[in-house]
Structure 1
Amino acid sequence: MVFYFTSDVVAPPVTLFMGNDKHENEDLIKWGWPEDVWFHVDKVSSAHVYLRLAPAQTIDDIPNSVLDDACQLVKANSIMGNKMNDIDIVYTMWSNLKKTAGMEVGQVAFHKDKDVRKVRIIKRINEIVNRLNKTKREAFPDLRLERETRDRLEREDKKKLVREKRDKEKEEEKQRKEEAELRSYATLMKKENMTTNQDGNDSDDFM
Protein backbone atom coordinates (compact mmCIF):
# COMPACT_ATOMS: atom_id res chain seq x y z
CA MET A 1 0.00 0.00 0.00
CA VAL A 2 1.16 3.49 -0.86
CA PHE A 3 -0.23 6.70 0.62
CA TYR A 4 -0.58 9.72 -1.66
CA PHE A 5 -0.90 13.34 -0.59
CA THR A 6 -1.62 16.43 -2.66
CA SER A 7 0.33 19.60 -2.03
CA ASP A 8 -1.61 22.51 -3.50
CA VAL A 9 0.78 25.24 -2.43
CA VAL A 10 1.88 25.47 -6.08
CA ALA A 11 0.00 25.36 -9.37
CA PRO A 12 -0.39 22.81 -10.69
CA PRO A 13 -0.46 20.83 -7.42
CA VAL A 14 2.21 18.18 -6.79
CA THR A 15 1.95 14.73 -5.27
CA LEU A 16 3.87 13.43 -2.28
CA PHE A 17 3.82 9.71 -1.52
CA MET A 18 5.17 7.18 0.95
CA GLY A 19 5.00 3.48 1.75
CA ASN A 20 2.79 2.06 4.48
CA ASP A 21 5.68 0.13 6.05
CA LYS A 22 9.27 -0.91 5.47
CA HIS A 23 8.26 -3.48 2.87
CA GLU A 24 6.52 -0.87 0.74
CA ASN A 25 9.52 1.36 1.32
CA GLU A 26 11.69 -1.39 -0.11
CA ASP A 27 9.55 -1.53 -3.25
CA LEU A 28 9.65 2.26 -3.61
CA ILE A 29 13.45 2.12 -3.35
CA LYS A 30 13.65 -0.65 -5.96
CA TRP A 31 11.21 0.81 -8.46
CA GLY A 32 11.77 4.53 -7.95
CA TRP A 33 12.02 6.94 -10.86
CA PRO A 34 14.99 9.13 -11.80
CA GLU A 35 12.62 12.07 -11.25
CA ASP A 36 11.93 11.12 -7.60
CA VAL A 37 13.28 13.05 -4.63
CA TRP A 38 13.57 11.05 -1.39
CA PHE A 39 13.00 12.59 2.07
CA HIS A 40 13.78 11.15 5.53
CA VAL A 41 14.38 12.36 9.08
CA ASP A 42 18.12 12.43 9.65
CA LYS A 43 19.44 9.73 12.02
CA VAL A 44 15.92 8.84 13.20
CA SER A 45 13.47 6.25 11.93
CA SER A 46 10.76 7.76 9.75
CA ALA A 47 8.65 7.25 6.68
CA HIS A 48 10.31 7.48 3.28
CA VAL A 49 8.53 10.35 1.55
CA TYR A 50 8.91 10.98 -2.16
CA LEU A 51 8.28 13.91 -4.45
CA ARG A 52 8.15 13.23 -8.18
CA LEU A 53 9.62 16.07 -10.21
CA ALA A 54 8.36 17.04 -13.63
CA PRO A 55 10.59 16.16 -16.61
CA ALA A 56 13.60 18.47 -16.89
CA GLN A 57 13.19 19.70 -13.29
CA THR A 58 16.06 19.32 -10.84
CA ILE A 59 16.29 19.16 -7.07
CA ASP A 60 17.20 22.87 -7.14
CA ASP A 61 13.82 23.66 -8.70
CA ILE A 62 11.75 22.53 -5.70
CA PRO A 63 9.80 25.54 -4.38
CA ASN A 64 10.34 26.29 -0.68
CA SER A 65 6.64 25.82 0.01
CA VAL A 66 6.72 22.29 -1.43
CA LEU A 67 9.91 21.57 0.47
CA ASP A 68 8.19 22.64 3.69
CA ASP A 69 5.25 20.31 2.96
CA ALA A 70 7.52 17.33 2.30
CA CYS A 71 9.59 17.93 5.42
CA GLN A 72 6.54 18.37 7.66
CA LEU A 73 5.04 15.17 6.25
CA VAL A 74 8.23 13.26 7.00
CA LYS A 75 8.41 14.63 10.54
CA ALA A 76 4.74 13.84 11.22
CA ASN A 77 5.32 10.24 10.11
CA SER A 78 8.25 9.60 12.39
CA ILE A 79 7.43 8.26 15.86
CA MET A 80 10.44 9.90 17.45
CA GLY A 81 10.86 12.77 15.03
CA ASN A 82 7.28 13.91 15.52
CA LYS A 83 7.95 14.47 19.20
CA MET A 84 11.20 16.36 18.69
CA ASN A 85 11.98 19.95 17.83
CA ASP A 86 14.98 21.16 15.85
CA ILE A 87 15.43 18.09 13.70
CA ASP A 88 17.10 17.73 10.33
CA ILE A 89 15.43 16.33 7.25
CA VAL A 90 17.71 14.91 4.58
CA TYR A 91 16.71 14.67 0.95
CA THR A 92 18.34 13.55 -2.25
CA MET A 93 17.52 12.23 -5.70
CA TRP A 94 16.35 8.62 -5.84
CA SER A 95 19.33 7.77 -8.07
CA ASN A 96 21.64 8.63 -5.16
CA LEU A 97 20.12 5.97 -2.90
CA LYS A 98 22.41 3.00 -2.36
CA LYS A 99 21.13 -0.47 -1.48
CA THR A 100 23.44 -3.39 -0.67
CA ALA A 101 22.66 -7.02 0.03
CA GLY A 102 23.56 -6.78 3.73
CA MET A 103 21.12 -3.98 4.52
CA GLU A 104 17.88 -4.49 6.39
CA VAL A 105 14.54 -4.11 4.66
CA GLY A 106 13.87 -0.44 3.99
CA GLN A 107 17.41 0.63 4.88
CA VAL A 108 19.44 2.74 2.46
CA ALA A 109 22.75 4.56 2.17
CA PHE A 110 24.03 7.05 -0.37
CA HIS A 111 26.33 6.82 -3.35
CA LYS A 112 27.53 10.39 -2.82
CA ASP A 113 27.11 12.13 0.51
CA LYS A 114 27.80 15.48 -1.13
CA ASP A 115 24.56 15.11 -3.11
CA VAL A 116 22.46 14.87 0.05
CA ARG A 117 20.69 18.07 1.10
CA LYS A 118 19.68 18.90 4.65
CA VAL A 119 17.08 21.25 6.06
CA ARG A 120 16.38 22.11 9.70
CA ILE A 121 12.79 21.84 10.93
CA ILE A 122 12.19 23.79 14.12
CA LYS A 123 8.84 22.29 15.04
CA ARG A 124 5.76 20.56 13.70
CA ILE A 125 3.38 22.87 11.88
CA ASN A 126 -0.08 21.39 12.36
CA GLU A 127 -1.61 23.61 9.70
CA ILE A 128 0.55 21.98 7.03
CA VAL A 129 0.18 18.44 8.34
CA ASN A 130 -3.60 18.71 8.67
CA ARG A 131 -3.93 20.17 5.18
CA LEU A 132 -1.95 17.31 3.67
CA ASN A 133 -3.76 14.63 5.68
CA LYS A 134 -7.09 15.83 4.29
CA THR A 135 -5.85 14.84 0.82
CA LYS A 136 -4.53 11.44 1.86
CA ARG A 137 -5.55 8.47 -0.26
CA GLU A 138 -4.51 4.83 -0.33
CA ALA A 139 -3.62 2.85 -3.44
CA PHE A 140 -2.03 -0.44 -4.41
CA PRO A 141 0.00 0.49 -7.50
CA ASP A 142 2.05 -1.95 -9.53
CA LEU A 143 5.30 -0.06 -8.97
CA ARG A 144 7.27 -2.29 -11.31
CA LEU A 145 4.77 -1.85 -14.14
CA GLU A 146 4.72 1.94 -13.61
CA ARG A 147 8.52 2.10 -13.81
CA GLU A 148 8.71 -0.16 -16.85
CA THR A 149 6.02 1.90 -18.59
CA ARG A 150 7.90 5.09 -17.80
CA ASP A 151 11.12 3.62 -19.23
CA ARG A 152 9.37 2.37 -22.37
CA LEU A 153 7.85 5.78 -23.05
CA GLU A 154 11.23 7.42 -22.51
CA ARG A 155 12.84 5.06 -25.02
CA GLU A 156 10.10 5.79 -27.54
CA ASP A 157 10.55 9.53 -27.05
CA LYS A 158 14.30 9.21 -27.60
CA LYS A 159 13.76 7.17 -30.77
CA LYS A 160 11.32 9.79 -32.00
CA LEU A 161 13.83 12.56 -31.36
CA VAL A 162 16.52 10.59 -33.22
CA ARG A 163 14.19 10.09 -36.19
CA GLU A 164 13.21 13.76 -36.22
CA LYS A 165 16.87 14.79 -36.05
CA ARG A 166 17.77 12.43 -38.88
CA ASP A 167 14.87 13.66 -41.02
CA LYS A 168 15.83 17.27 -40.33
CA GLU A 169 19.43 16.59 -41.33
CA LYS A 170 18.27 14.92 -44.55
CA GLU A 171 16.04 17.88 -45.36
CA GLU A 172 18.84 20.35 -44.65
CA GLU A 173 21.23 18.35 -46.85
CA LYS A 174 18.63 18.32 -49.63
CA GLN A 175 18.22 22.09 -49.36
CA ARG A 176 21.98 22.60 -49.43
CA LYS A 177 22.26 20.54 -52.62
CA GLU A 178 19.39 22.41 -54.26
CA GLU A 179 20.93 25.77 -53.31
CA ALA A 180 24.31 24.62 -54.64
CA GLU A 181 22.71 23.58 -57.93
CA LEU A 182 20.93 26.92 -58.21
CA ARG A 183 24.18 28.78 -57.58
CA SER A 184 25.92 26.64 -60.19
CA TYR A 185 23.15 27.28 -62.73
CA ALA A 186 23.20 31.00 -62.02
CA THR A 187 26.95 31.05 -62.63
CA LEU A 188 26.59 29.29 -65.98
CA MET A 189 23.94 31.76 -67.06
CA LYS A 190 26.13 34.81 -66.43
CA LYS A 191 26.75 36.83 -69.62
CA GLU A 192 30.52 36.39 -69.52
CA ASN A 193 30.10 32.61 -69.45
CA MET A 194 27.73 32.46 -72.42
CA THR A 195 28.88 32.15 -76.08
CA THR A 196 27.30 33.38 -79.33
CA ASN A 197 27.90 33.00 -83.07
CA GLN A 198 29.90 36.20 -82.91
CA ASP A 199 32.34 34.47 -80.59
CA GLY A 200 33.36 32.19 -83.42
CA ASN A 201 31.40 29.30 -82.03
CA ASP A 202 28.95 29.00 -84.91
CA SER A 203 28.33 25.32 -85.37
CA ASP A 204 27.51 25.86 -89.11
CA ASP A 205 30.91 27.39 -89.90
CA PHE A 206 32.91 24.62 -91.63
CA MET A 207 36.36 24.82 -93.10
Structure 2
Amino acid sequence: MVFFFTSTVVDPPVRLFMGLDKYENEDLIKWGWPEDVWFHVDKVSSAHVYLRLNPGQTIEDIPTAVLEDAAQLCKANSISGNKMNNVDVVYTLWSNLRKTASMDAGQVAFHKDKEVYKIRIDKRINEIVNRLNKTKEEVKLDLRAEREKRDALERDQAKKEQKERMQKEREEQERRKKEASLRNYDNMFDASKMTSNHDTGNDSDDFM
Protein backbone atom coordinates (compact mmCIF):
# COMPACT_ATOMS: atom_id res chain seq x y z
CA MET A 1 0.00 0.00 0.00
CA VAL A 2 1.28 3.45 -0.94
CA PHE A 3 -0.05 6.65 0.63
CA PHE A 4 -0.42 9.66 -1.66
CA PHE A 5 -0.71 13.29 -0.55
CA THR A 6 -1.45 16.33 -2.67
CA SER A 7 0.57 19.49 -2.11
CA THR A 8 -1.36 22.54 -3.27
CA VAL A 9 1.32 25.10 -2.49
CA VAL A 10 2.16 25.23 -6.21
CA ASP A 11 0.04 25.31 -9.34
CA PRO A 12 -0.46 22.73 -10.70
CA PRO A 13 -0.41 20.76 -7.44
CA VAL A 14 2.17 17.99 -6.92
CA ARG A 15 1.86 14.61 -5.27
CA LEU A 16 3.98 13.26 -2.45
CA PHE A 17 3.95 9.58 -1.54
CA MET A 18 5.31 7.14 1.02
CA GLY A 19 5.12 3.46 1.89
CA LEU A 20 2.89 1.83 4.49
CA ASP A 21 5.84 0.38 6.44
CA LYS A 22 9.53 -0.49 6.15
CA TYR A 23 8.76 -3.41 3.83
CA GLU A 24 6.78 -1.19 1.49
CA ASN A 25 9.65 1.28 1.71
CA GLU A 26 11.95 -1.50 0.59
CA ASP A 27 9.87 -1.95 -2.57
CA LEU A 28 9.89 1.80 -3.18
CA ILE A 29 13.68 1.76 -2.91
CA LYS A 30 13.94 -1.19 -5.28
CA TRP A 31 11.46 0.00 -7.89
CA GLY A 32 11.89 3.76 -7.64
CA TRP A 33 12.11 5.98 -10.73
CA PRO A 34 15.07 8.12 -11.78
CA GLU A 35 12.71 11.09 -11.48
CA ASP A 36 11.99 10.39 -7.80
CA VAL A 37 13.36 12.53 -4.98
CA TRP A 38 13.66 10.75 -1.62
CA PHE A 39 13.14 12.54 1.74
CA HIS A 40 13.97 11.28 5.25
CA VAL A 41 14.57 12.80 8.69
CA ASP A 42 18.31 12.85 9.23
CA LYS A 43 19.82 10.37 11.70
CA VAL A 44 16.50 9.09 13.11
CA SER A 45 13.82 6.70 11.88
CA SER A 46 11.08 8.24 9.77
CA ALA A 47 8.83 7.65 6.81
CA HIS A 48 10.43 7.62 3.36
CA VAL A 49 8.66 10.38 1.46
CA TYR A 50 9.00 10.76 -2.30
CA LEU A 51 8.35 13.46 -4.85
CA ARG A 52 8.33 12.62 -8.56
CA LEU A 53 9.89 15.33 -10.70
CA ASN A 54 8.28 16.52 -13.91
CA PRO A 55 10.10 15.94 -17.24
CA GLY A 56 13.01 18.35 -17.50
CA GLN A 57 12.82 19.34 -13.83
CA THR A 58 15.88 18.99 -11.59
CA ILE A 59 16.23 18.61 -7.85
CA GLU A 60 17.40 22.23 -7.69
CA ASP A 61 14.13 23.35 -9.30
CA ILE A 62 11.90 22.11 -6.47
CA PRO A 63 10.08 25.11 -4.93
CA THR A 64 10.89 25.80 -1.29
CA ALA A 65 7.23 25.45 -0.30
CA VAL A 66 7.14 21.91 -1.74
CA LEU A 67 10.35 21.01 0.09
CA GLU A 68 8.78 22.24 3.32
CA ASP A 69 5.65 20.13 2.72
CA ALA A 70 7.72 17.00 2.11
CA ALA A 71 9.93 17.68 5.13
CA GLN A 72 6.96 18.31 7.41
CA LEU A 73 5.41 15.05 6.23
CA CYS A 74 8.64 13.20 7.08
CA LYS A 75 8.83 14.78 10.53
CA ALA A 76 5.17 14.08 11.30
CA ASN A 77 5.73 10.42 10.42
CA SER A 78 8.77 9.97 12.60
CA ILE A 79 8.26 8.72 16.17
CA SER A 80 11.37 10.49 17.41
CA GLY A 81 11.56 13.30 14.90
CA ASN A 82 7.96 14.39 15.50
CA LYS A 83 8.85 15.25 19.11
CA MET A 84 12.01 17.15 18.24
CA ASN A 85 12.61 20.73 17.19
CA ASN A 86 15.33 21.86 14.81
CA VAL A 87 15.62 18.65 12.83
CA ASP A 88 17.20 18.23 9.42
CA VAL A 89 15.45 16.41 6.62
CA VAL A 90 17.77 15.05 3.96
CA TYR A 91 16.75 14.57 0.35
CA THR A 92 18.41 13.22 -2.77
CA LEU A 93 17.57 11.62 -6.08
CA TRP A 94 16.45 8.00 -5.92
CA SER A 95 19.42 7.02 -8.12
CA ASN A 96 21.77 8.21 -5.35
CA LEU A 97 20.37 5.70 -2.83
CA ARG A 98 22.70 2.79 -2.12
CA LYS A 99 21.43 -0.53 -0.80
CA THR A 100 23.54 -3.48 0.32
CA ALA A 101 22.56 -6.99 1.33
CA SER A 102 23.64 -6.41 4.95
CA MET A 103 21.23 -3.50 5.46
CA ASP A 104 17.92 -3.88 7.27
CA ALA A 105 14.62 -3.35 5.47
CA GLY A 106 14.16 0.31 4.68
CA GLN A 107 17.76 1.20 5.47
CA VAL A 108 19.83 3.01 2.82
CA ALA A 109 23.11 4.81 2.30
CA PHE A 110 24.26 7.10 -0.52
CA HIS A 111 26.54 6.72 -3.49
CA LYS A 112 27.61 10.38 -3.31
CA ASP A 113 27.22 12.38 -0.11
CA LYS A 114 27.75 15.62 -2.00
CA GLU A 115 24.48 15.00 -3.85
CA VAL A 116 22.49 14.89 -0.61
CA TYR A 117 20.64 18.09 0.30
CA LYS A 118 19.21 19.22 3.65
CA ILE A 119 16.35 21.37 4.82
CA ARG A 120 16.03 22.47 8.45
CA ILE A 121 12.64 22.17 10.13
CA ASP A 122 12.41 24.24 13.29
CA LYS A 123 9.19 22.70 14.52
CA ARG A 124 6.13 20.80 13.40
CA ILE A 125 3.63 23.04 11.64
CA ASN A 126 0.22 21.48 12.17
CA GLU A 127 -1.36 23.64 9.50
CA ILE A 128 0.85 22.00 6.86
CA VAL A 129 0.53 18.46 8.23
CA ASN A 130 -3.27 18.70 8.57
CA ARG A 131 -3.61 20.15 5.05
CA LEU A 132 -1.64 17.24 3.60
CA ASN A 133 -3.41 14.60 5.68
CA LYS A 134 -6.77 15.78 4.36
CA THR A 135 -5.63 14.75 0.86
CA LYS A 136 -4.32 11.33 1.90
CA GLU A 137 -5.17 8.44 -0.42
CA GLU A 138 -4.33 4.75 -0.02
CA VAL A 139 -3.43 3.13 -3.33
CA LYS A 140 -2.45 -0.48 -3.93
CA LEU A 141 0.24 -0.51 -6.61
CA ASP A 142 2.37 -3.10 -8.34
CA LEU A 143 5.54 -1.03 -8.07
CA ARG A 144 7.53 -3.35 -10.30
CA ALA A 145 4.90 -3.24 -13.06
CA GLU A 146 4.74 0.57 -12.83
CA ARG A 147 8.51 0.84 -13.20
CA GLU A 148 8.61 -1.59 -16.11
CA LYS A 149 5.85 0.36 -17.87
CA ARG A 150 7.80 3.58 -17.35
CA ASP A 151 10.99 1.99 -18.76
CA ALA A 152 9.12 0.61 -21.78
CA LEU A 153 7.74 4.06 -22.59
CA GLU A 154 11.22 5.55 -22.23
CA ARG A 155 12.67 2.96 -24.63
CA ASP A 156 9.91 3.63 -27.15
CA GLN A 157 10.53 7.36 -26.93
CA ALA A 158 14.28 6.85 -27.35
CA LYS A 159 13.68 4.72 -30.46
CA LYS A 160 11.34 7.35 -31.88
CA GLU A 161 13.87 10.13 -31.28
CA GLN A 162 16.67 8.04 -32.82
CA LYS A 163 14.54 7.36 -35.89
CA GLU A 164 13.80 11.07 -36.24
CA ARG A 165 17.51 11.92 -35.91
CA MET A 166 18.45 9.38 -38.57
CA GLN A 167 15.77 10.76 -40.88
CA LYS A 168 17.08 14.30 -40.39
CA GLU A 169 20.64 13.11 -41.06
CA ARG A 170 19.54 11.44 -44.31
CA GLU A 171 17.69 14.57 -45.37
CA GLU A 172 20.76 16.69 -44.58
CA GLN A 173 22.98 14.36 -46.61
CA GLU A 174 20.60 14.56 -49.55
CA ARG A 175 20.54 18.35 -49.29
CA ARG A 176 24.34 18.51 -49.34
CA LYS A 177 24.51 16.16 -52.32
CA LYS A 178 22.08 18.33 -54.26
CA GLU A 179 24.03 21.49 -53.43
CA ALA A 180 27.28 19.83 -54.52
CA SER A 181 25.68 18.66 -57.74
CA LEU A 182 24.35 22.15 -58.48
CA ARG A 183 27.78 23.67 -57.86
CA ASN A 184 29.40 21.21 -60.29
CA TYR A 185 26.72 21.96 -62.88
CA ASP A 186 27.25 25.73 -62.53
CA ASN A 187 31.01 25.30 -62.92
CA MET A 188 30.49 23.57 -66.26
CA PHE A 189 28.98 26.78 -67.64
CA ASP A 190 31.17 29.31 -65.91
CA ALA A 191 32.01 31.85 -68.70
CA SER A 192 35.36 32.68 -67.10
CA LYS A 193 36.45 29.05 -67.59
CA MET A 194 35.17 28.65 -71.14
CA THR A 195 37.57 28.97 -74.14
CA SER A 196 37.17 29.92 -77.83
CA ASN A 197 39.22 29.60 -81.01
CA HIS A 198 40.57 33.06 -80.35
CA ASP A 199 41.72 32.04 -76.91
CA THR A 200 43.79 29.25 -78.47
CA GLY A 201 45.45 31.57 -81.02
CA ASN A 202 43.37 30.43 -83.98
CA ASP A 203 41.27 33.40 -85.10
CA SER A 204 40.82 32.29 -88.68
CA ASP A 205 37.78 30.71 -90.20
CA ASP A 206 40.08 28.85 -92.55
CA PHE A 207 40.78 25.37 -91.20
CA MET A 208 43.18 24.53 -94.01
Q: Confirm or deny a common fold (TM above 0.5).
A: yes
* Contiguous gaps of at least 5 residues in structure 2: 201-205
User: TM-score, with normalisation over the residues of structure 2?
Assistant: 0.92
Q: Which residue of 2 aligns with 1:187?
A: 187
Q: Alpha-carbon deviation of 1:197?
A: 8.3
CA–CA separation in structure 1 for the residues paired with 2:67 and 2:11: 14
Moved more, 85-94 or 110-119: 110-119
Q: Alpha-carbon deviation of 1:191?
A: 2.5
CA–CA separation in structure 1 for the residues paired with 2:33 and 2:82: 28
CA–CA separation in structure 2 for the residues paired with 1:128 and 1:192: 82
Q: Which residue of 1 aligns with 2:100?
A: 100
> Residue 5 of structure 1 aligns to which amino acid in structure 2?
F
Q: Which residue of 2 aligns with 1:86?
A: 86
Q: Which residue of 1 aligns with 2:66?
A: 66
CA–CA separation in structure 2 for the residues paired with 1:179 and 1:168: 16
1:123 aligns with 2:111: no
Q: Which residue of 2 aligns with 1:76?
A: 76
> Residue 144 of structure 2 aligns to which amino acid in structure 1?
R
The CA deviation string for residues 25-67 of structure 1, in whole angstroms up to 9 with x for no partner, is 0000000001111000111111000000112221111110100
Q: Which residue of 2 aligns with 1:35?
A: 35
3-state DSSP of counterpart to 1:18? strand
Report matched runs for 1:1-207 at 5 Å. 1-194=1-194
CA–CA separation in structure 2 for the residues paired with 1:150 and 1:65: 28
Moved more, 186-195 or 173-182: 186-195
Q: Alpha-carbon deviation of 1:116?
A: 1.1
Identity of aligned residues (%): 70
Aligned length: 204
* Contiguous gaps of at least 5 residues in structure 1: none
